[in-house]
């Protein structure tokens, strides 16, 4: 059952492998092949109300916040409505301006994170409308919200979030598709995104099939005291979540930076002792990213590239190649090898993978 690790050694790796099924469940019954859109019955927002939304503000803590950053990009790309994510923990302490034409979206796997719940309550007190993107049905945050999307990812036991993270981003893709199709996303682009979403479970399985090789790379890179994670635009939240995962379960220090910012400071850290994990999708920023990798290699920094093809040795020492989806959905796939990297680094270092020190699965107190 869901509460034992079955054939797997830890909940974390079991849940990483459950992602194709989790994504299928998040998508189930929600794609419309006739109008190339998504149906989300729980939003409690009709098309007229949704069209009146001028801004989207997304709140969550930890991995939920990073999923929110990916969600914000999806909403901007597909619906062309400004969207921004912020840690719920910060938002609730800064007397935020609550606007009537902003749609607030709270993300929480457990639905019980106190900082996120407090942010929702503050928004509601000031008249804002809040949707929840939540895994646990009937949880405190789900009950407090005006509507939302349930992930249906199944129970997540490991402290480090993986399948709930991925399902959250899929839920945002559905929201962005639905929102986009009542704004100006074309039927052709709607069809393209629907097809991309349907391809995800199979493509995640393809990445998981590379586990053995990624485990070897993880054992090698786990020897370092720290790692740098970089990505541009779509790759940037992937880098942030990848660094977070590594820190949480392996206790290896990791920094995440936008690749574009490297030369404005952290390039000073690059040396043979600090390897870089670089997200290099084959998008319009590939050349820029390869230039950055050349700058790292020129300073004898080791590079592990995650992208759509094996780069030239001038740019990377190692590469993990993931299947190509649609550019907007590629971040979902680029993040999967980083989960395996973190897990296997933690195993190589003998860490308590499912219960990392100092962390709790949900922080229900202030
Ligand atoms: C804790 C966990 C994190 C998680 C965060 C938010 O800090 O250690 O892994 O991302 O809470 O949890 P939630 O249940 O609100 O998504």
Quick: pLDDT tens for 271-292.
Answer: 999 999 999 999 999 999 999 9
- pLDDT on residue 142: 97
**Which is more confident, 268 or 149?**
149
Q: What is the rounded average pLDDT of the residues 49-65?
A: 97
Average pLDDT, the chain: 96
Q: How far apart are CA 42 and CA 173, in angstroms?
A: 15
- pLDDT on residue 83: 98
Out of 161, 335, 353, mutate this one to test ligand 1's pocket (max ligand atoms within 8 Å of CB): namely: 161
Q: What is the rounded average pLDDT of the residues 168-193?
A: 98
**Quick one: CA dihedral 152, 157, 160, 162, positive or negative?**
negative
Is the model's pLDDT at 305 over the cut of 90? yes
Is the model's pLDDT at 1 over the cut of 80? no
Pocket of ligand 1 from Cβ distances under 6 Å? 61-64, 108-110, 113, 116, 159-161, 359-363
Protein residue closest via CA to atom 11 of ligand 1 = 362
- Helix ranges (DSSP H) in the chain: 11-17, 19-27, 47-51, 63-79, 88-91, 114-125, 140-144, 163-182, 187-208, 211-221, 235-250, 286-298, 330-334, 336-348
Out of 362, 365, 366, mutate this one to test ligand 1's pocket (max ligand atoms within 8 Å of CB): namely: 362
Q: What is the rounded average pLDDT of the residues 334-356?
A: 96
In the structure, what pLDDT confidence band is assigned to residue 31 with cuts at 50, 70 and 90? very high
In the structure, what pLDDT confidence band is assigned to residue 264 with cuts at 50, 70 and 90? very high
Q: What is the rounded average pLDDT of the residues 169-183?
A: 98
Contact 266, 257 (CB under 8 A): yes
Is the model's pLDDT at 2 over the cut of 70? no
pLDDT digits (tens, 9 = 90+) for 62-102: 999 999 999 999 999 999 999 999 999 999 899 999 999 99
* Cα–ligand 1 centroid distance for 364 (angstroms): 10
* Cα–ligand 1 centroid distance for 246 (angstroms): 15
**What are residue 60's DSSP bridge partners?**
87
* Cα–ligand 1 centroid distance for 247 (angstroms): 14
In the chain, the N- to C-terminal Cα span, in Å, equals 33
- pLDDT on residue 365: 82
* Cα–ligand 1 centroid distance for 109 (angstroms): 7
Out of 63, 67, 148, 165, mutate this one to test ligand 1's pocket (max ligand atoms within 8 Å of CB): namely: 63
pTM beyond 0.95, yes or no: yes
């Amino acid at each position: 059952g869901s509460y034992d690790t079955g054939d797997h050694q830890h909940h974390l790796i079991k849940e990483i492998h459950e992602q194709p099924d989790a994504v299928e469940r998040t998508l189930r019954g929600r794609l419309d092949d006739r109008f190339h859109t998504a149906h989300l019955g729980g939003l409690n927002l009709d098309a007229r109300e949704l069209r009146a939304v001028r801004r989207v503000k997304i709140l969550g803590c930890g991995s939920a916040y990073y999923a929110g950053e990916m969600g914000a990009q999806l909403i901007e790309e597909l619906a062309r409505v400004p969207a921004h994510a912020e840690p719920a923990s910060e938002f609730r302490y800064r007397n935020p301006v609550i606007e009537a034409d902003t749609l607030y979206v709270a993300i929480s796997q457990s639905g019980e994170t106190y900082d996120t719940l407090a942010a929702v309550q503050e928004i509601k007190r000031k008249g804002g409308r809040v949707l929840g993107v939540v895994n646990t049905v009937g949880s405190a945050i789900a009950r407090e919200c005006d509507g939302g999307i349930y992930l249906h990812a199944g129970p997540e036991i490991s402290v480090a979030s993986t399948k709930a993270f991925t399902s959250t981003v899929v839920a945002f893709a559905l929201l962005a598709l639905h929102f986009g199709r009542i704004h100006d996303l074309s039927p052709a682009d709607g069809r393209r995104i629907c097809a991309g979403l349907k391809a995800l479970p199979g493509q995640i399985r393809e990445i998981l099939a590379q586990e053995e090789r990624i485990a070897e790379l993880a054992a090698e890179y786990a020897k370092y005291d720290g790692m740098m994670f970089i990505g541009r635009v779509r790759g940037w939240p992937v880098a942030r979540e990848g660094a977070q995962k590594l820190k949480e379960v392996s206790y290896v220090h990791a920094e995440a930076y936008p690749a574009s910012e490297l030369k404005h400071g952290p390039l000073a850290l690059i040396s043979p002792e600090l390897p870089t994990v670089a997200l290099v999708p084959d998008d319009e920023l590939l050349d820029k990213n390869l230039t950055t990798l050349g700058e790292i290699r020129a300073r004898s920094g080791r590079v592990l590239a995650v992208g759509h093809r094996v780069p030239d040795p001038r740019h990377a020492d190692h590469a993990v190649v993931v299947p190509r989806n649609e550019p907007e959905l590629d971040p979902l796939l680029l993040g999967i090898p980083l989960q395996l990297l973190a897990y296997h680094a933690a195993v190589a270092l003998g860490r308590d993978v499912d219960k990392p020190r100092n962390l709790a699965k949900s922080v229900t107190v202030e």
